Amino acid sequence: MDYFETCSKKGRGMAQRSLELIEAMCAVTRDAHPITGRGVGYKLFTRGLIGSMAKSEMQRVYRLLREARERGQIPWEWIVDETRAFERRATWDDPAHYAECVARSYRRDFWNQQPVRVEVWSEKGPCVVCLRRSSIATLSASACCTDLTARRRSTTLRRMATAAN
């Protein structure tokens, strides 16, 4: 008996409801990529295609998203995961290229002598992305504002802000 034999999942085909949900996911991701799995869930919920944003519903969304991606129905790069970032150590062709990059990235810290520091906190990464793309981004880049995406509950953020004051 061969215990190392691979087997593909066998059984009945996918339910019509799941096929319809995948079709809707394809439309959502086509119109809004790149998007997170949770973002797809929000769009499906607001269209009345899933009953809630409950864990069980979202697990179904994530499972069907994975299956659609594995089948080539949704390109892998259209779904992003902000909690996982690809990390790569910076490298340069030669010392001159390194010096050029360092010179381009230099910014004077205008806040180091100020009595108050401005920080923009957001519980959601997309909010920070929108802020960076807005006209405020021009101001924050020139004024060296700090932004932070905090993956904490709003009550925790309120306590932290209160403690900082």
Q: pLDDT-derived band of residue 7, with 50, 70 and 90 as boundaries?
A: very low
59-115 per-position pLDDT tens digit: 999 999 999 999 999 999 999 887 776 778 889 999 999 999 999 988 888 888 888
Task: Please give the sequence-ordered ranges of beta strands (E in DSSP) within the chain, or none if there are none.
Answer: 35-36, 79-80, 119-122, 146-149
Instruction: Give the contacts of 131 (CB within 8 A, at least 6 positions apart).
Output: 120, 122, 137, 140, 147
Q: Who has greater pLDDT, 14 or 92? A: 92
Q: pLDDT-derived band of residue 126, with 50, 70 and 90 as boundaries?
A: low
Mean pLDDT, residues 113-130 = 72
What whole-number distance in Å separates Cα of residue 96 and Cα of residue 92? Answer: 9
Q: pLDDT-derived band of residue 14, with 50, 70 and 90 as boundaries?
A: confident
Q: pLDDT-derived band of residue 2, with 50, 70 and 90 as boundaries?
A: very low
Could you state, in order of their start, the residue ranges of all structural domains in the chain?
16-80, 118-165
Share the mean pLDDT of the chain: 78
pLDDT value of position 3: 43
pLDDT value of position 12: 65
Q: Are 79 and 22 in contact (CB under 8 A)?
A: no
Q: Which of these ranges, 11-15, 33-37, 107-111, has the smallest mean pLDDT?
A: 11-15
What whole-number distance in Å separates Cα of residue 75 and Cα of residue 26? Answer: 9
Q: Who has greater pLDDT, 114 or 47? A: 47
pLDDT value of position 17: 92
Dihedral of CA atoms 25, 28, 29, 30 in degrees, nearest 10, equals 120
pLDDT value of position 88: 83
Q: Who has greater pLDDT, 117 or 32? A: 32
